[in-house]
Structure 1
Amino acid sequence: MNIAFVLLTHNPDEPAGIERSIASLAEGLREAGHHPLIIAAGPATPADHAGLLRLSTLTLPRPAREEDLLALLADPAPVVREVRHLLTAHRAELVCWADAVWGLGYLSPAPPGVATALMVHVPRADEAMHQSLAHGPRAVLTTGDFMIREMAGADLDTSSWHAVPNALLHLAAPPHPSEREKLRRGGAVRIVARAEPHKGIAELLAALPTEFGRRVQIVLAEAGFEYWPGMQNETIARCRKLAAGLPEVELRRALPWQQVQPFLAGAAATLIGSTSPETFGNVAAEALSVGTPVVGYGLGHLPALVGTAGRMVALDDGPEQIWQTLADLLDDREEYHASAQQGPAQVADLAPHAVAAAFLAAAAPRETS
């Protein structure tokens, strides 16, 4: 089956959840013998591959804001024509709009006869969302029960929506228990996050106890989009200023997707400091897949994802409690290893082929699913 995904910000190794989830799903579809392609805005990158099609009628600045995109689409006709042409030329049987705006769901430029699906990765109930739903997509897909409840609470009819989780890009073997024990005793805490204020990295740095006694390695990545001008630069500058006074802290640049799981596998634990609900939690899933316990705020989908493979903290208790909870977990050998062993089981159903099967069951025309 020929399946197209439209996500204008898509780039290989883009440090963002939707982009990574689309790449993982596409990999699962390939494994199942289907033919996925991704349609994105320009400019092209050296890492582009044959399954990534760039629009000649739309080039985004980096980083881009939604306001930038909507201004560029003030006259959407050229982009609509090109998307329809690409879908026709590649004989797409199903096209999935990866977002109401960034995935062109509000325009829904599908040729006649091509089935459509809408993905809802982030909470939004604005005009673009209502326009996307008014086009009558064959299926609406979101990341889990949390998002279905959240959007129902925004007065959207979610009764026929489907929960399809984000896939891991690949499965990886966790460290041997003896190596995991070495990490528990003295391994670094490793964190991977996008440079966004709500990821809570600055707050974690400000609350780091002086007596913590371990290295803290933080990958802080700039994405191709932001919510206001200078957001990422401001976040990175604040974190660098805080880290300058913390000799045990090391800030690192973005990692390629394939290197995230090995990086997290070498950690004693990882922290999710997001102060707004994670609608899925890709980094947490990658950590769990390699047996690395997760400590974070009990918001959004994170508690269901982590289960007993880590510990959750109430947001009101603040970042100081995250560090204390982490220290308690590291000090408890039995519970630590139980959490580490549970991690891969928590994400066992996130293999690319399994998520691809769930996607097809929800979105594909019945005769081809």
Structure 2
Amino acid sequence: MNSSMPRTIAFVLFSYAPGEPAGYERAVGALAEGCRRLGITPLIITSGPAEAGDADHPDMVRLSSLTLPRPILKPDILAALEDPEPVRVELRRLLADHEADLVVWVDALYGLGYLDAAPEGVPTILQVHKVRGDDYFDRAIAAATTVCPISPFMESEAREQGYETSAWTIVPNALFAPAQPAEREERERLRTQGPVRIVSRAEPYKGLAELLEALPADWTRPVELVLAAAGFEYWPGMQDEVFGAVRAAAVKRPDVVTVLEALPWQEVQPFFAGAAATIIASYEPETFCNAAAEAMSTGAPVVGIGIGNLPHLVADGGVMVSAEQGPGGIWPALSELLEDADRYHATSQSAVARTAFHAPDEVVRQMLAAVATTLTH
């Protein structure tokens, strides 16, 4: 990297698609926005085949040597990379042709970090969205200039699995826009009258059907759930199963529950700006939790199950219930928060303050500082 402010930063994630309702993809989109705000050109390298609308995203380049179906299943990935050399060669050529000054492998496998394909002299960052503990992960760590877990939870998970993390630097996921909280008067109106708004992809471990099943009989406030299908699944038909379970639970309470279509990335924060609060009901640990950060940036508190990164991210910007309480404990905790005006507004203000360092340009600066520190040692 020739200067403190590179001209081009490349992000490699073979499952990327603009607007994809998934954490890795959403994180890349926000970092690309941060680059643009700083006058840096983002380059996003992903797999083929080409899709309608690609021309609307000139910063995105598709690999011809790696094509994957949608939705993607892990066996598809391993089969497509059985002979990785053509992918490595093409990836290195693209990075050289586009004169990338810095390469961000978004994952050891999904971000192709294990291939070690950066041109000579170009520094690299391995993001850790998940601790894989396999050969892909080990090879990617060894090849990277800098390793950046996305949360304190990810760093602690790596330490628990025996990785030496003292030289790693936590760089959180970015928001698409800086925090923009509602005025106090509007926030008070939302506290008393606003809907509960939830944004999630269709994954069983998000606990959405269970959350709706636990809705108290006397609950009268609107609950608006944006549910979206991503371009990958853990097993065939997984997302259809989730949609079916959520809709079956929602139809039991048509008086309050509405299931909405997916939103573009840039519309999620404005959607949360009209919410009294949001809920994160995941019963498996969130490694970061973009939806929580997006809601907090508008002043909407987060109520959720206190596992994974959620307690680190939210802290006094929301309320956590125990895993033992589960979704049945979320609704009473939310009611108590909404009914206590002083506590609610203090929580809302804390939520906004905790997202101050998640503005897109700020997170890119943190990322550049991390690699600069590594290069000077």
TM range (shorter): over 0.9
Q: What residue number does 2:32 align with?
A: 26
2:247 pairs with 1:240: yes
Separation in 2, partners of 1:364, 1:95: 13
Worse overlay, 255-264 or 154-163: 154-163
**Secondary structure of residue in 2 paired with 1:166:** coil
Deviation at residue 11 of structure 1 after TM alignment: 1.1
Deviation at residue 220 of structure 1 after TM alignment: 0.9
Separation in 2, partners of 1:333, 1:170: 27
Distance 1:243 1:366, change over 3 A: closer
Separation in 1, partners of 2:307, 2:196: 21
Deviation string, structure 1 residues 145-178 (Cα, Å, up to 9, x no partner): 2211111101122121110011111125322222
Deviation string, structure 1 residues 301-324 (Cα, Å, up to 9, x no partner): 211211212101101111111011
Separation in 1, partners of 2:357, 2:38: 16
Deviation at residue 364 of structure 1 after TM alignment: 4.6
Residue type matched to 2:345 in 1? Answer: H
Deviation string, structure 1 residues 69-110 (Cα, Å, up to 9, x no partner): 111111122222211110110111221111111101121222
Q: What residue number does 2:199 align with?
A: 192
Worse overlay, 168-177 or 191-200: 168-177
**Secondary structure of residue in 1 paired with 2:86:** helix
Residue type matched to 1:10 in 2? Answer: Y
Residues 288 and 309 in structure 2, CA contact (< 8 A), matched pair in contact too: yes
Residue type matched to 2:322 in 1? Answer: A
2:45 pairs with 1:39: yes
Deviation at residue 214 of structure 1 after TM alignment: 1.2
Separation in 2, partners of 1:128, 1:106: 5
Separation in 2, partners of 1:348, 1:291: 12
Query: Structure 1: 5+ residue runs without aligned partners?
Result: none
Distance 1:158 1:45, change over 3 A: farther
Deviation at residue 29 of structure 1 after TM alignment: 2.2
**Secondary structure of residue in 2 paired with 1:226:** coil
Separation in 2, partners of 1:258, 1:304: 24
Match of 1:59 among 54, 64, 67: 67
Q: What residue number does 1:204 align with?
A: 211
Q: What residue number does 2:267 align with?
A: 259
**Secondary structure of residue in 2 paired with 1:57:** strand
Residue type matched to 1:54 in 2? Answer: R
2:12 pairs with 1:9: no
Q: What residue number does 2:358 align with?
A: 350
Residues 94 and 364 in structure 1, CA contact (< 8 A), matched pair in contact too: no
Residues 141 and 161 in structure 1, CA contact (< 8 A), matched pair in contact too: yes
Residue type matched to 1:333 in 2? Answer: A
Worse overlay, 233-242 or 19-28: 19-28
Deviation at residue 54 of structure 1 after TM alignment: 1.1
* TM-score scaled by length of structure 2: 0.93
Deviation at residue 250 of structure 1 after TM alignment: 0.8
Residues 115 and 365 in structure 1, CA contact (< 8 A), matched pair in contact too: no
Match of 1:145 among 139, 152, 157: 152
* TM-score scaled by length of structure 1: 0.95
Identity %: 51
**Secondary structure of residue in 2 paired with 1:162:** coil
Deviation at residue 241 of structure 1 after TM alignment: 1.2
Residues 187 and 268 in structure 1, CA contact (< 8 A), matched pair in contact too: yes
Residues 125 and 154 in structure 1, CA contact (< 8 A), matched pair in contact too: yes
Match of 2:165 among 158, 166, 175: 158
Residues 58 and 79 in structure 1, CA contact (< 8 A), matched pair in contact too: yes
**Secondary structure of residue in 1 paired with 2:308:** coil
1:75-224 matched pairs, under 5 angstroms: 75-134=83-142, 136-224=143-231
Residues 97 and 108 in structure 1, CA contact (< 8 A), matched pair in contact too: no
2:278 pairs with 1:278: no
Residue type matched to 1:337 in 2? Answer: H
Tell me how many residue pairs correspond in the alignment. Answer: 367
**Secondary structure of residue in 2 paired with 1:277:** coil
Separation in 1, partners of 2:52, 2:85: 25
**Secondary structure of residue in 1 paired with 2:348:** helix
